[in-house]
């Protein structure tokens, strides 16, 4: 495939950062199409570990062009912190390696503030990262957002910021009983960011179109996961953008005929961070064991991830809504050592078994997972270099995933490093 999307097939944290890094070696461009610095990608290269939040994983290669598309929301303060972090580790981040869409929305200080205030005011907490993602997308939909093309034009930025500060201060003072924001302070700070951003900002839709037409290979990098999609996730416990493959077109400015495939990344079990339903969650010693062995702590939030058995209903739903052409299964090594492993193959709901994820959380609460039991495998899974070297029981497990979802398992990850990756079928 010359252009394809890599996305999370569960609730995020599936190992997309590693797989994007691994697959990026054979492409020319890596493009983020949604989300902001609420994402967390961990990439291990040799003995070095890189923690990415906003910048595409392809930045670790010197010869890749990375793009933040119009579907992203960008906090300039967080962006430059990440750039400084990478440059201190010897990774250059220049306009030759990173471009930002002039249509991308800017996260402002009032977005972060209102994110935290609105979360505290909710009866049922959603568990947001508090980084201003939701309020930024709200302003985008409400048509009062500030885009990159506005930020880098001083006169336009000053006018739009003044309008927004006036409205936001009314809300902050009268609704949230908070202190008002200072226009001059924010204008000065963000004008300085604008000067630094100018070389990075351009119409990336045009650039991307031209690159694809020239035969360049493109990897579209998703953030979060399918079940955090604003339309198809466990609403309202979701993010504020479209995390499914369809988000590529609206988030980068290219047509659907330009995307050749969709690669879904899934753990060999299931995790999620934050609030919301989780049908196969394990709240017992087994869940704690998986969490500890798998190092299940959120890269961005620092919160422990909730852990549970693999849910094939989720993966089948991901395959349907994103048109998955390939699956990547990560952390098969984490389950090594368990005698028996359960896999959810349906939900018992209204006296019948369904194989799709219901929209209503009330309906989902009534769903009872239907499990199949598999024999476990040993620690030798972590040293396998080929599919045939994987324990037989692990192969049976993987074959069941492919059979149930109707999508071939093309890559299996047995550890965090690049060389701990088994290619079953070339993508």
Just list the catalytic residues. 13, 41
CB 412 within 8 A of CB 332: yes
Following DSSP, what letter does each residue of 29-50 receive, concatenated? Answer: EEEE-SB-TT--EEEEETTEEE
CB 73 within 8 A of CB 136: yes
**Helix axis angle, 109-121 to 154-174, nearest 10°:** 20
Distance CA 120, CA 22 (A): 39
CA distances (Å), origin 350, targets 277, 368, 423: 18, 10, 41
Enclosing H/E stretch for 394:
helix 392-405
Distance CA 412, CA 145 (A): 41
Distance CA 274, CA 125 (A): 9
User: What token pair was written down for 64?
Assistant: 């890749």
């Amino acid at each position: 495939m010359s252009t394809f999307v890599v996305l999370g097939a569960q609730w995020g944290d599936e190992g997309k950062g590693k797989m994007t890094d691994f697959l990026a070696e054979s492409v020319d461009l890596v493009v983020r199409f949604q989300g902001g610095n609420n994402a967390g990608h961990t990439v291990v290269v040799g003995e070095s570990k890189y923690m990415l939040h906003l910048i595409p994983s392809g930045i670790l290669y010197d010869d890749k062009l990375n793009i933040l598309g119009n579907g992203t929301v960008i906090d300039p303060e967080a962006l430059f912190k990440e750039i400084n972090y990478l440059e201190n580790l010897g990774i250059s981040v220049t306009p030759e390696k990173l471009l930002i869409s002039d249509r991308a929305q800017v996260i402002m200080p009032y977005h972060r503030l209102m994110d935290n205030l609105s979360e505290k005011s909710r009866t049922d907490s959603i568990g947001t990262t508090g980084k201003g993602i939701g309020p930024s997308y709200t302003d985008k939909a409400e048509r009062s957002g500030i885009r990159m093309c506005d930020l880098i034009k001083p006169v336009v930025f000053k006018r739009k910021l003044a309008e927004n500060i006036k409205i936001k201060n009314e809300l902050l003072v009268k609704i949230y009983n908070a202190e008002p924001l200072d226009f001059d302070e924010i204008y000065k700070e963000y004008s300085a960011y604008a000067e630094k951003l100018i070389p990075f900002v351009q119409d990336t839709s045009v650039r991307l179109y031209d690159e694809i037409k020239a035969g360049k290979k493109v990897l579209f990098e998703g953030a979060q996961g399918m079940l955090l999609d604003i339309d198809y996730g466990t609403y309202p416990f979701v993010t504020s953008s479209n995390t499914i493959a369809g988000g590529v077109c609206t988030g980068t400015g290219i047509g659907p005929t330009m995307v050749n495939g969709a690669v879904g990344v899934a753990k060999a079990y299931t995790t999620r961070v934050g609030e919301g339903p989780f049908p196969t969650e394990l709240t017992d010693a087994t869940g704690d064991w998986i969490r500890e062995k798998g190092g299940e702590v959120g890269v961005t939030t620092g919160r422990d991830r909730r852990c549970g058995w693999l849910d094939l209903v989720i993966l089948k739903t991901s395959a349907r809504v994103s048109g998955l052409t390939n699956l990547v299964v990560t952390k098969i090594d984490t389950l090594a050592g368990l005698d028996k492993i359960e896999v959810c193959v349906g939900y018992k709901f209204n006296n019948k078994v369904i194989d799709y994820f219901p929209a209503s959380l009330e309906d989902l609460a009534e769903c009872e997972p239907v499990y199949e039991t598999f024999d476990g495998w040993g620690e030798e899974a972590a040293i396998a270099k080929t599919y045939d070297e994987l324990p037989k029981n692990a192969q049976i497990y993987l074959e069941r995933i492919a059979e149930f979802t109707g999508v071939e398992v093309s890559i299996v990850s047995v550890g965090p490093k690049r060389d701990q990756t088994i290619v079953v079928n070339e993508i």
